[in-house]
Amino acid sequence: MPVFFSDAFNDVTIHFDTFMKAVALHEHLRAAGLTGLTFGAPRALTVAELCTVHARAYVDAVAVGEPLDLAASNGVDWDPGLLTAAATSSGGVVEAALHALEHGGFAGSLSSGLHHARRGAGAGYCTFNGLALAAFAARRAGAGRVLVLDLDAHCGGGTASLIEGTTGIEQVDVSVSSYDEYRSTEQARLTLSGGAAYLGDVEAAIDAIAAPGSIDLVLYNAGMDAHTEAGGGSRGVSTEVLAAREQMVFGWAASHGLPVAWVPAGGYTWGGLTLDEVCGLHRLTVEAALYHLGLAA
């Protein structure tokens, strides 16, 4: 299973989980000795590619740091390396998506910082919306139906705003926090859940997806921040619950023969976990994907 990663994801001086985690997760996965993973470095998206989703004025602000309130609208201090780091991070999502679309099976990118970003500004630690960039790139590459499955703890209001009114892209979103909540529609279906109901609500949301066999690509935002201790989580959402969730998602995709491009998304140390423990939660996604590809026990 190809996994896209670049040191450029972290090529900023900002000391923040979203940027630090990719490097730690890359080292964690290599140290875990999982068989069946091949790492590849993505290229940074060009300004023109970023502008397929984002406003030119916002991309330019991220590039030069002015106006500063727009350049830092993701909620993190602006850094001269931010454009390259964010453009390479989203480049990883796009390459994972195009790889899965072309070859089938599953692919991943160790990217963060995605689903809150808007067309004209960042939000919630997200600079560019990699999910939307990948969804539109997949459509341009011939995918007729793209599903964004967002199981991060927080709502994917940025992605919902970016796909609204388009054809061929839909979102299924189960969140345990109302942050970035949006009005649920047929195109972007939001469930607020938590606690003991969580796993059942995820299953119900997936079961409700009509005609899954007609989906050409699933973009899976596999946040681990619903975990009780992962920062922003819900009481009762344990490591075992999240392991079962990952088996459910990849089992469902495999049973319908659906290509999946996954990204780790949320999962933070401020809830009490160490960075290595957060990486251990994200490893559940990788292990479930490998299992359903027949590459792991």
Question: Which residues of this protein are in contact with Zn ion, per CB under 5 A?
Answer: 152-154, 223, 225, 266
CB-wise, 49 or 150, nearer to Zn ion? 150
Burial 259-296 (b: 16+ CB within 10 A, else e): bbbbbbbbbbbeeebebebbbbbbbbbbbbbbbbeebb
Q: Closest CB to Zn ion belongs to which residue?
A: 266
Shortest reach from residue 233's CB to Zn ion, in Å: 9
CB-wise, 105 or 157, nearer to Zn ion? 157
Shortest reach from residue 152's CB to Zn ion, in Å: 4
Q: For residue 67, say if its preceding peptide bond is cis, omega within 30 degrees of 0.
A: yes
Length of the chain: 297
CB-wise, 49 or 225, nearer to Zn ion? 225
Closest by CA to 62, choosing from 48, 38, 35, 80, is 80
The CA distance from 284 to 225, in Å, is 13
Shortest reach from residue 265's CB to Zn ion, in Å: 6
Shortest reach from residue 24's CB to Zn ion, in Å: 17
Chain position carrying tokens 């001269």: 80
The CA distance from 248 to 145, in Å, is 21
Shortest reach from residue 258's CB to Zn ion, in Å: 24
Shortest reach from residue 104's CB to Zn ion, in Å: 29
Which uninterrupted H or E stretch holds 240?
Answer: helix 239-255
CB-wise, 125 or 136, nearer to Zn ion? 125
CB-wise, 167 or 178, nearer to Zn ion? 178
CB-wise, 101 or 222, nearer to Zn ion? 222
Shortest reach from residue 274's CB to Zn ion, in Å: 18
Counting Cα atoms < 13 Å in the Cβ hemisphere of 129 gives: 32
**In contact, 219 and 168? CB cutoff 8 Å:** no
CB-wise, 154 or 227, nearer to Zn ion? 154
Pairing of strands 2-4, 106-109: parallel
Return the axis-axis angle of helices 239-255 and 275-292, rounded to nearest 10°.
30
